[in-house]
Amino acid sequence: IQNNTNKLDKLDVNSYDIFEAKNYLERALEQKPNSEVANFEYAKFLERIGNETLAEKYYLNSLIINANSTNGLKAYANFLMQRDVG
């Protein structure tokens, strides 16, 4: 999953790649539902496509798994700040 993070950042939400990314991340979560990385990357994906409700759920899941994740805490804080501004 970590190797595909850059691909997720460059994902065009209007392309067919979105379905491929969604399927990939959902399979990762099915195989390892307690994976901090899988939950975190799925949250980022959901935020990118505009599904804020589910994005928050998966950000929180990743932080429940690892509450000391610097990347997770920063990403969730940014997510919350954008929601307040947006």
Alpha helices, DSSP H, located in the chain: 5-9, 17-31, 36-48, 52-65, 70-85
Q: pLDDT band at residue 13, thresholds of 50, 70 and 90? A: low
CA angle 30, 31, 32 (to 5 degrees): 95
What residues have CB less than 8 Å from 2, skipping those under 6 apart?
Answer: 37
pTM across the whole model? 0.80
Q: Which tokens hold the place of 65?
A: 């798994």
Return the closest-CA partner of residue 11 out of 51, 36, 46, 56.
46
pLDDT in tens, 29-71: 999 999 999 999 999 999 999 999 999 999 999 999 999 999 9
